Structure 1
Amino acid sequence: MLKIIISALLFSLSCASYAALTVVADFGGESTAPLFEAITPPDDENSSPVQVVPLESAVFPVVSSRLHPGAVISRPLSLPGMTPLFILGDDPQSVHWLAQQRATLKSLNATGLVVNVASADRLEKLRQHADGLTLLPASGDDLAVRLQLDTYPVLITDSGLSQ
């Protein structure tokens, strides 16, 4: 008897899931289509194609107002798990430092942040000097505040910073 009651209950629940939805309220409103026109490709074949600017090109010039080339005093840090990172600009001192430190930076698999660079062309020239190291254009102001740093080039590891 209990099996029959449970079967009937399950059958009635399964039938209820196929019932039509009931609209509680439809207040109308305005279409959202105009909001998406800016990102929808035009249907007209005669329209001019949109010029796409690569994201990296859109960031230039990169200027970090809190950082400038200069001497860095080495000091210990405790940053467990920190991936080696180096900061530089496209100035002559940074280029010279990069040439001197390239083997060390490669052995650490360090990533470079280029915190002052005028253009994509200047970044590309710096990348040629880097010989395969990853160099990313980025503002260094937040990092400068957090690490109480005002000069570069500098190598930052989990145990300290040095030039």
Structure 2
Amino acid sequence: MVVICLLVPVMAQADLTVIHDSGNTQPIAPFLEVFQTHDGLPQQSQAPTRPQLGAADPKAWLPIQSPGLTPGPVLARAHDRPFTRPFFMIGCDTRSQQWLQAHRDRLKEIGAVGMLVQAETMDDLRTIARLADGLSILPASGSDIAKALSVSHYPVLISAHGIEQ
């Protein structure tokens, strides 16, 4: 037991191994400034700096594009994929906005998660967030899943039972 207690500080100072560096790595120091103290009080920097948020910045997500997917009608059909949770794909177009408003309550009832597959501006993101009214919607390209399911239009709901609009 004593040996383990003596080894912990040595292990804690081991060199870090970089697993992946995208080339856009940001230093963590600006995020840690709030924890630095001087005489027991938080250290005041002379000019507050706003750290770059990277992937956490919604502007970095834009534009959201899904090549091969366009707004349009979807014919209801069955599929043989074992999806355990329903999900839907929408864009920021008028058809998607109207569909989201019309189906929002049902989507909430069945626990569906949304994919925003097309958006150009921050206003697009705000509009969908407002219309979602509590539904989880993630910005992502839907091209791969659409291709796998032979879907070429959105808005669309994909559940364990089938594909529908």
2:65–2:117 CA contact under 8 A, matched in 1:
yes
Aligned residue runs from structure 1 range 1-150, under 5 A:
39=27, 41=29, 49=49, 51-53=51-53, 54-150=56-152
1:47 offset after TM fit, Å? 8.9
| Structure 1 CA distance for aligned equivalents of residues 28 and 132 of structure 2 | 40
Aligned to 1:158: 160
Matched to 2:116, the amino acid is V
Q: Summarize the Cα distance change of 1:39–1:110 in structure 2 as closer, same or farther, 3 Å threshold.
A: same
1:57 offset after TM fit, Å? 2.9
Instruction: Provide the TM-score with structure 2 as the length reference.
Output: 0.68
1:123 offset after TM fit, Å? 1.1
1:145 offset after TM fit, Å? 1.1
| Structure 2 CA distance for aligned equivalents of residues 104 and 69 of structure 1 | 21
- Identity fraction in percent: 35
| Structure 1 CA distance for aligned equivalents of residues 162 and 66 of structure 2 | 22
Q: Summarize the Cα distance change of 1:140–1:81 in structure 2 as closer, same or farther, 3 Å threshold.
A: closer
Matched to 2:29, the amino acid is P
1:56 offset after TM fit, Å? 3.4
Structure 2 stretches of 5 or more lacking a match? 1-24, 34-44
Matched to 1:41, the amino acid is A
Q: Summarize the Cα distance change of 1:46–1:128 in structure 2 as closer, same or farther, 3 Å threshold.
A: closer
Q: Summarize the Cα distance change of 1:72–1:60 in structure 2 as closer, same or farther, 3 Å threshold.
A: same
Superposed CA offset, 1:7-27 (max 9, x none): xxxxxxxxxxxxxxxxxxxxx
Instruction: Provide the TM-score with structure 1 as the length reference.
Output: 0.69
1:159 offset after TM fit, Å? 1.4
Structure 1 stretches of 5 or more lacking a match? 1-36
1:120 offset after TM fit, Å? 2.9
